[in-house]
Amino acid sequence: MSMLAVAVALTGVLCVVNLLLTFGVIRRLKEGQGTSSPVGLPVPGAVVGEFEVAARDGRILSRESLGEGALVAFLSAGCGGCGPQIPRLLERAREHRGERIVAVVSGPEAEAAQLVEPLAGVADIVLEPQGKAVNDAFGVRGYPSFCQVADGVVTASSVNVAVLPAPSRS
């Protein structure tokens, strides 16, 4: 019977320690809200690095070619959360017809086709291996990532395209 009491007491102590650690993690997460971007997202206010890549249609894209405003979507062929964002991205393109959209799709072209095909004619599409020119220029380390850029500076970023602010009309 004393062995049972020791096991119950030990289990109780472990539960209390686990609860304290959980509260500590929650507190740290709350303290970080609003001060930084989630891991892998471009940070608003950051200057986009230099890049020069060819889009699928042969046009050369660079930081300067994004001009006064663009929505840049970073998607990956192996990303489970990327596919559900495609309809939201298409809806945004319909709602804001003048907004320039650039889709940077990472992964092998055959696997990326399901992400690329719906965006044809809606976005400038760049196919690149993960961790290359455009991803590095924006500091993207996670997918999906969406950011708005104006004059080479990230103005907003999110993992959900629907929460980004509407483009400003000049």
Tens of pLDDT along 52-94?
998 888 889 999 998 888 999 999 988 888 999 999 999 999 8
Cα–Cα distances in angstroms (integers) from residue 114 to residues 83, 107, 118, in the given order: 8, 12, 7
Please determine, for residue 129, whether its predicted confidence score (pLDDT) is greater than 90: no
HSE, side-chain direction, 13 A CA sphere, residue 81: 11
Name the region of 93 (left: φ>0; alpha: ψ -120 to 50; beta: rest): alpha
**C-alpha atoms less than 13 angstroms from C-alpha of 74 in its C-beta half-sphere:** 27
| Tokens 């609860």 -> residue | 19
Name the more confident of 41 and 30.
41
Query: Is the N-terminal amide bond of 84 cis, ω within 30° of 0?
Result: no
Q: Is the pLDDT of residue 130 over 70?
A: no
Question: What's the whole-model pTM score?
Answer: 0.74
Asked if residue 35 has pLDDT above 50, the reply is no
Give the containing element (helix H, strand E) for 133.
Answer: helix 133-138
Q: How many whole angstroms separate alpha carbon 51 and alpha carbon 78? A: 24
What is the longest distance spanned by two Cα atoms in the chain? 78
Beta strand pairing call for 153-158 and 145-150? antiparallel
16 phi/psi in degrees, rounded to 5: -65, -45
